[in-house]
């Protein structure tokens, strides 16, 4: 339970890091264990091979002695055959050689002091049984002490017809010093390499764990910042992992669907705004109708053709009706201008000259016009172009506080590729961040007067020409409105 609790509270990065370190440690332990085991196996194979070679060499010499002996090759003559040759044989092969009869009793030995009557100089019955039952009539007895390991080989001495004459005992002393030194040297060098490997493993594990979880952290951060109604950035996938790429793709798809949902919501809100505006327009038109009706009824009741002031009263009555009609006309005109723009009357004109003329109606001395081109020819509606300039400049002037030192409004006109770019730059109070997304919405305004249709009308004009209008604003520093209109020559 405690292990599960700790595992749950470990971050994915720490889990990957510790798993890689643990894998490195386990791998090193297994490599060292397998290497030591291999060293010991090679040592065992080496000593076994040496013993077999020595034994084969001794048997070959014994066969030579048998073929050159003048004694009959029978078990009872074995002692006579080898008693004078045993020392020479042992000296040539640098080992102790004992020869026993078929019952396991010592006949002759190369050892200086031996006695055939000594029970220790007899082959144990279990060894005799193992020799007789072995397929190759050979048995190797291994004795291990605290310091040495002795391999004693027992086999039959046979005549030409493979009849057993005696049993030969050949001891072989294993020397493990060489392989023990090799193991120690290997362990020492491997330990040094392991320390370097461990340091590298820690570094690589730390890098990999950070690399694997980097995109996950990025996705997590993006998800926490994802909100409805703002521009949510997609994640560019730099991971080669299919799982991470799939997760990033899912996030980007979610962002797209969120933007689509917001567009639908915004469309619904715009439709609702249109309905509200229609109600407001109807209300604005209806307001003057009631006093007009009452005024007409009242005038009808009081109308007296013989009244000497009848002409003045008719003029006053007419003036009142005209004022109310003008009020309704202005409301209807503003709404009509936004809802359905007048038909475009495009004409080929010099945009630079037209913009300069549009600025002549403004008397503010701080309005400046900048243009690097003497003429920019395009096909556009002169009236609508003037409306764009006058509306943006008017908004820029109104955005500058009256007590502002060194006020400035700059109208910059330039030609960029196949577009006319108009920038209106002011150093006014700017547009607050919380309302920037609503600045082009109909009926939205920060002023105490007006219906809030100016920027909406400009946006419609620009979009009708397949252009764009954007802005960049910083509170208390100013605003830059940028209009891009494609050049049309035909």
Q: What is the pLDDT along the chain (490 residues), one digit of tens a residue?
A: 454 544 455 666 677 777 777 877 787 788 778 877 777 777 777 777 887 888 888 888 888 888 888 888 888 888 888 888 888 888 888 888 888 988 888 888 887 655 544 555 788 888 888 888 888 888 888 777 656 677 888 888 888 888 888 888 888 877 666 666 777 777 787 777 778 877 887 777 777 777 767 767 777 777 776 666 666 667 676 655 676 777 777 777 777 777 777 777 777 776 676 666 666 666 566 656 666 676 677 777 777 777 777 778 777 767 767 766 766 676 666 666 555 555 567 888 899 888 888 887 787 889 999 998 888 888 888 888 888 888 899 889 988 998 888 899 999 999 988 899 999 999 998 888 887 877 877 544 444 333 344 677 788 888 888 899 999 998 888 999 999 999 887 6
Question: For strand 164-174 and strand 98-100, is the pairing parallel, antiparallel, or unpaired?
Answer: antiparallel
User: Look-up: residue for tokens 């556009």?
Assistant: 380
Given a contact cutoff of 8 angstroms between Cβ atoms, the answer to whether 109 and 99 are in contact is yes
Would you state the structure tokens that stand for residue 306, as one six-digit string?
């013989």
User: Look-up: residue for tokens 């943006």?
Assistant: 392
Q: Backbone dihedral region of 477: left (phi > 0), alpha (psi from -120 to 50 degrees) or beta?
A: alpha
The domain limits of the chain are 2-180, 242-339, 346-486
Would you state the structure tokens that stand for residue 28, as one six-digit string?
């090193």
Would you state the structure tokens that stand for residue 394, as one six-digit string?
């008017």
Of residues 374, 388, 390, 278, the one with CA closest to residue 344: 388
pLDDT in tens, 385-404: 888 888 899 889 988 998 88
Q: Backbone dihedral region of 443: left (phi > 0), alpha (psi from -120 to 50 degrees) or beta?
A: left
Kindly report the pTM of this predicted structure: 0.37
User: Look-up: residue for tokens 């340091």?
Assistant: 199
Given a contact cutoff of 8 angstroms between Cβ atoms, the answer to whether 59 and 95 are in contact is no
- H/E/C letters for each residue in 308-353? CCHHHHHHHHHHHHHHHHHHHHHHHHHHHHHHCCCCCCEEEEEHHH
Strand, helix or coil for residue 472: strand
Question: For strand 478-486 and strand 468-474, is the pairing parallel, antiparallel, or unpaired?
Answer: antiparallel
Would you state the structure tokens that stand for residue 257, as one six-digit string?
């669907």
Say yes or no: domain 346-486 is CATH 3.30.565.10: yes
Say yes or no: domain 2-180 is CATH 3.40.50.720: no
């Amino acid at each position: 339970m405690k292990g599960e609790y700790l595992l749950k509270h470990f971050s994915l990065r720490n889990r990957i890091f510790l798993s890689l370190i643990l894998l490195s440690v386990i791998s090193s332990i297994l490599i060292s264990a397998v290497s030591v085991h291999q060293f010991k196996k090679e040592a065992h194979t080496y000593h076994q091979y040496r013993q077999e070679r020595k034994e084969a060499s001794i048997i070959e010499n014994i066969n030579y002695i048998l073929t050159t002996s003048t004694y009959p090759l029978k078990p009872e003559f074995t002692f006579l055959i080898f008693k004078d040759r045993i020392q020479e044989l042992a000296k040539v092969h640098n080992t102790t050689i004992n020869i026993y009869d078929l019952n396991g009793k010592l006949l002759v030995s190369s050892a200086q002091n031996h006695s055939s009557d000594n029970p220790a100089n007899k082959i144990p019955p279990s060894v005799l049984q193992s020799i007789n039952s072995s397929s190759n009539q050979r048995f190797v007895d291994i004795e291990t002490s605290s310091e040495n390991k002795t391999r004693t080989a027992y086999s039959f001495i046979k005549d030409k017809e493979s009849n057993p004459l005696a049993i030969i005992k050949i001891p072989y002393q294993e020397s493990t010093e060489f392989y023990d030194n090799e193991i120690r040297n290997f362990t020492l060098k491997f330990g040094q390499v392991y320390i370097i490997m461990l340091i590298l493993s820690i570094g690589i594990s730390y890098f990999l764990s950070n690399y694997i979880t980097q995109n996950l952290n990025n996705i997590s951060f993006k998800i926490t910042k994802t909100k409805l109604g703002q521009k949510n950035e997609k994640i560019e996938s730099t991971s080669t992992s299919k799982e991470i790429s799939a997760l990033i793709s899912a996030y980007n798809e979610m962002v797209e669907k969120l933007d689509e949902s917001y567009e639908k919501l915004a469309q619904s809100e715009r439709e609702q705004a249109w309905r509200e505006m229609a109600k407001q327009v109807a209300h604005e038109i209806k307001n003057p109708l009631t006093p007009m009706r009452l005024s007409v009824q009242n005038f009808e009741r009081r109308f007296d053709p013989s009244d000497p002031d009848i002409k003045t009263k008719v003029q006053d009555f007419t003036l009142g009706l005209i004022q109310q009609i003008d009020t309704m006309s202005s409301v209807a005109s503003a709404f009509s201008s936004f809802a359905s723009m007048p038909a475009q009357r495009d004409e080929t004109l010099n945009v630079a000259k037209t913009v300069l003329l549009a600025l002549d109606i403004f008397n503010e001395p701080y309005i400046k016009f900048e243009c690097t081109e003497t003429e920019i020819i395009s096909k556009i509606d002169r009236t609508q172009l003037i409306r764009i300039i006058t509306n943006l400049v008017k908004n820029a002037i109104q955005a500058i506080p009256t007590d502002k030192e060194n006020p400035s409004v700059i109208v910059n006109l330039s030609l960029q590729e196949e577009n006319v770019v108009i920038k209106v730059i002011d150093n006014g109070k700017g547009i607050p961040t919380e309302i920037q997304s609503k600045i082009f919405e109909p009926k939205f305004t920060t002023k105490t007067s007006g219906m809030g249709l100016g920027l909406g009308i400009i946006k419609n004009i620009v979009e009708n020409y397949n252009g764009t209008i954007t802005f960049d604003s910083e509170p208390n520093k100013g605003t830059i409105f940028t209009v891009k209109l494609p050049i049309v020559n035909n």
